Chains A and B, each alone.
Chain A
Amino acid sequence: MILTAKWRQWLPYLGIAAVVAYCLAPFYWMLVSSLRRTSDIFSTSLLPSPLSFENYRSVFSPAQGFTRALFNSLIVAGVTTALSLLLATFTAYAMARLEFRFKRLVLTLIIATSMFPVVSIVVPLLKLFTDIGWINTYQAMIVPSMSFTLPLAVWNLTTFFRQMPDELEQAAMVDGCTRGQAFRKVIVPLAAPGIFTTAIITFIAAWNEFLIALSMTNKPGMQTATVAISKFSGATTYQTPFGSQMAAGVVVTIPLVVMVLLFQRRIVAGLTAGAAK
């Protein structure tokens, strides 16, 4: 009995350890591989020895333009997320709170649009954007990225808004808030975890986009991080620059995670503070 109690106490920690191990073990391999010298790249030792930052130096060598690419990715993914969330919030509010005809049709349409393989829409889009002179612009990457972030955001937000109580909003409106204010001051703070998660997921989806970013740009200064990584090469054609690819993978992933961690506290705290007023 005591044993089981102790077991019970430790169980969550065991679970946490399992989850962390599951998520991080392959990533650890990525990290280790990125810290090996090019000549040790085939090694399977669990620790890199000798430790080498050669791959990171090559990732950030000025010729790769990787810093600029990270910045471009940040802009593209950031703006895509912001716009998607904004538009999706309106739409999701209508879906969750308003009664109107064709609601199911609209929802189906929204999801249907996210289903066409990107491979098939990229050539028509390229033609369109070439005609209107959008090649090598941020909007040429942002707008198509919304084709898959927007449906995701709308559907997610709809479910989260629907879990929010009607009465709070109505009470706020009785207190003299407009519908918009009631939504902003009551619903949004309460749905913060959902909104925040949606933002993360949207941001990552946009951050990882490759084919559109590759097709819509041909200037090194406009390329995003994923495109820049695809251009990593060894000293000769057949040599796979595995080490620097892994290093770039780490460089692309870590800031994202750190950023999420930082913003998580701020945003959630900020939103709940707003709600308390």
Chain B
Amino acid sequence: MADTTIPRNDTAARPGTAATRRPGRSPAAGSPRSRATAGSGRLAALLVSPTLLVLTIVVLYPTLMALDESLYGPKGLDPTTGFISTTEPFVGLKNYTDIFTQAGARFWNAFWNTTFFTVVTVSLETVIGVAMALIMHKAFRGRGLVRASILVPWAIPTAISGLLWKWIFNADGIANVLLGHQVLWTADGFSAKIAVVIADVWKTAPFIGLLVLAGLQVVPKEVYEAARLDGASARQQFWRITLPLVKPALLVAVLFRCLDALRMFDLPYILIGAQKGSVETLSMLAQNEASNVRFGPASAYAVLLFLYVFLIALAFVRLLGADLVGDVGGTGKSRPRRAGAARRRAQEVTA
């Protein structure tokens, strides 16, 4: 009896909770629950501080330097000596205003390219990645083989896979041979965008696949069995049980993929090349400025990109915080307990 009721509760409650949780979350966020746990606060500080310390050294310090740098203009050339001055002039926010005025067209083009790549590649990767995970999860025989092969695209260093795809998309390369039609992939144009999307999706869909698979593996089997006993179809099982249960893992995977895609640089740079309007991303603009020894404007681009990425991340944390962080209490807290109960029973049985 218990075996069936608990999971059924689970499945029935989940879509509902997911829907109601979000609007109900904000008022709960600042609830006094946290005050009750001063002791665990000290422990938390102890546990969290090493991570924050490392990140401060390797990221915060250079980031602050870059922020500072972005307020300085490029060094000027002294016309009489022919030398570039050794100090950079302080220009305030000029680097930022220049980006939106002088370099406006190029900036917005890169902005839309970046957004396009992020939306398209991450959506495709999510679909393909989840499909991969489901297939791997179902597979009993040959799972090791599948898992090994799925690692391959992700394990190849980006620089190498960029070269590989460049070779594949060469005018006389294998892609055109197989297509039986010559597409000039690496010329500036829409085909270049497609080439980047294909290469990126191939490389990173396994990342999502692996994380979702791990998420699936911690879902207790009994939940499915119970659902099947209840007569849920395969599709229902997927939408009502599988997806909600792997949602946290999936969201984290998607979030990190978004952050990575927004900073995309190596792949279009190696595969298609610099200065190609159709694939130029914000990171490539920053790199372009830095490579021309204009560290101020380069930092300004980096800061803008950072803000863009930060907004997206913030939106993720805000919208989906409950699933990711679970600092809401009530509905958010009860789920793992139930899943855990099912698992514990399973262990009792096996033991």
Interface residues in chain A, defined as those with a beta carbon under 8 Å from any beta carbon in chain B: 12, 15-16, 18-20, 22-24, 26-27, 29-30, 33, 42, 44, 87-88, 90-91, 93-96, 98-101, 103-104, 106-117, 119-125, 128, 143-144, 146-147, 150-152, 154-156, 158-160, 162-168, 190-191, 193-194, 196-198, 200-201, 204, 207-208, 210, 225-226, 229-230, 242, 245-246, 248-249, 252-253, 256-258, 260-261, 264
Task: Please state if B313 and A193 are interface contacts (CB–CB under 8 Å).
Answer: no
Q: Check B263 against A115 for contact (C-beta < 8 Å).
A: yes
| A-B pairs, 10 with minimum CB distance | A165-B340, A121-B62, A197-B214, A124-B62, A120-B302, A249-B160, A113-B59, A94-B47, A100-B44, A124-B65
Q: Which residue of B lies closest to A32 (CB)?
A: B174
Q: A29-B168, A108-B313 are in contact. Are A91 and B202 (CB under 8 A)?
A: no
Interface size on B, residues (CB 8 A): 108
Q: Which residues from 54 to 82 on chain B have a C-beta closer than 8 Å to any C-beta of chain A?
A: 54-55, 57-63, 65-66
**B217 CB-CB contact with A under 8 Å:** yes
CA distance A90 to B52 in the complex (A): 12
Report chain A residues within 8 Å CB of B336. 162-166
**What are 9 of the A-B contact pairs (CB < 8 Å)?**
A16-B139, A26-B161, A27-B152, A117-B283, A143-B58, A146-B58, A147-B58, A190-B343, A260-B151
Closest CB-CB distance, B56 to chain A, in whole Å?
A: 8
In angstroms, Cα B50 to Cα A94, docked, is 12
Task: Decide: A100 and B34 in contact? CB cutoff 8 A.
Answer: yes
CB neighbours of B194 from chain A (8 A)? none
Q: Mark B247-265, 1 if CB is under 8 A from A, else 0.
A: 0110110011001000101
Question: Quick one: which of A12, A98, A111, A193 contacts B44, CB cutoff 8 A?
Answer: A98
Given A20-B146, A143-B54, A155-B252, A167–B48 Cβ distance below 8 Å?
no
CB neighbours (8 Å) of A109 from chain B are 52, 55
B84 sits at the interface (CB 8 A)? no
Give every chain A residue within 8 A of B144 (Cβ-Cβ). Answer: 261, 264
